[in-house]
Amino acid sequence: MKQNKMDLPIKKHAKTFGKAKDFLPLIGTDFIELYVGNALQAAYYYKAAFGFQSLAYAGLSTGNRDTESYVVVQDKINLVLTSPLKSKTKIGQHIDRHGDGIKVIALTVEDAVEAYTLAMEKGAVSYLAPLIKKDEYGVVVQSGIYTYGDTVHLFIERKDYSGTFLPGFIAWETPEFAPHEIGLQYIDHMVGNVQLGRMNTWVKFYEEVMGFTNIISFDDKDISTAYTALMSKVVSSGNGRIKFPINEPAKGLKRSQVDEYLDFYEGEGVQHIAVSTQDILTTVKQLRKRGVRFLEVPASYYEDLSNRIGPIEEDLEQLQALGILVDRDEEGYLLQIFTQPVQPRPTLFFEIIQRKGARSFGKGNFKALFEAIEREQAIRGTL
């Protein structure tokens, strides 16, 4: 995948959308690509701290003159870390404006030409016209459209491909440094932060351009503290495999976490990636041991917890020692925890989530969580 071909200079969002239905079946999240200042060092961080494994590489030695990319993998999660090799590139401009951040949310599809054609008919803005890439392992078709901010969706059709990652990449093997995996399985959901008044615009985009359904809505009464508030709606693909909550700030006495994100990211973008584990206790123990820092919740959160959420299999003392939050809905419960931002700007962070029947997003934890974020904002002087 050559970045220079993908960075078309089009940047405008559609105003007219077609009719909503699941016309664009998505097989799953294919990869997430971050534009970062130093892809080599970022890859080391995701390996050492989060247990990702080396997978693929593209750069000078594979014929790329403009970019270098390292791909790391853990179960179904592929992260692509890309840096420019010279000044005045689109990628460099992206990093200058946003800091390290997510550029591409790539989705696996059956037919990338059809996905693109349908999305364009429904009013999407083109990022990449269908592009066929081949190597000795087969063919991959890619296409892409813009979503909020500078973020894009690529459609990846890889049914006729058996290579390591994508044509243009070679296998990246680092047997000398391979910290073991920590149980991260797949991307549960990815949250976007958008400007005040824009949440419904983007919900409509996902409904009408990509065939998603709005499955949950939270207003500022659900998500508010004494000082700040936000609103959120969750859109889901027809088969439920892709879920995108979309947040916008709501008026409060002080600046909300979404305002802080929009200021520091200098625009709309991905706020967090939630990754699933089947054993959150082990996963979080490992993450803490490897130096990943989390939002700290006060001891008071755990005081009344068993009354609030009823019986759970896990030991509450262990959960408290690790700072893991619990929430229950009609279908079961979930365990979750949020990292600190993973770059200098208070923008992108990770959520670790283990679902035990619950399909919701931890509404019961919003207040405790946002108060914790406000404490961090106060420390940063950005509340």
Residues in contact with Fe ion by CB under 5 A are 274, 351
CB of 308 to Fe ion, least distance (A): 19
CB of 326 to Fe ion, least distance (A): 14
Find where tokens 């917890």 sit: 305
CB of 270 to Fe ion, least distance (A): 11
> Using CA atoms, how far apart are residues 250 and 199, in angstroms rounded to an integer?
11
CB of 334 to Fe ion, least distance (A): 10
Closest CB to Fe ion among 70 and 244? 244
**Which amino acid is present at 1?**
M
CB of 353 to Fe ion, least distance (A): 7
CB of 199 to Fe ion, least distance (A): 15
The residues that bridge with 332 in the sheet, in sequence order, are: 329
Closest CB to Fe ion among 274 and 322? 274
Closest CB to Fe ion among 179 and 323? 323
Closest CB to Fe ion among 274 and 280? 274
> Using CA atoms, how far apart are residues 333 and 317, in angstroms rounded to an integer?
17
Closest CB to Fe ion among 248 and 351? 351
Find where tokens 């005081």 sit: 303
> Using CA atoms, how far apart are residues 169 and 59, in angstroms rounded to an integer?
8
Closest CB to Fe ion among 34 and 223? 223
Closest CB to Fe ion among 33 and 351? 351
Residue nearest to Fe ion (CB): 274
Question: Of the candidates 368, 369, 188, which has an alpha carbon nearest to the alpha carbon of residue 280?
Answer: 188
Find where tokens 């364009």 sit: 120
CB of 191 to Fe ion, least distance (A): 5
Closest CB to Fe ion among 281 and 334? 334
CB of 232 to Fe ion, least distance (A): 9
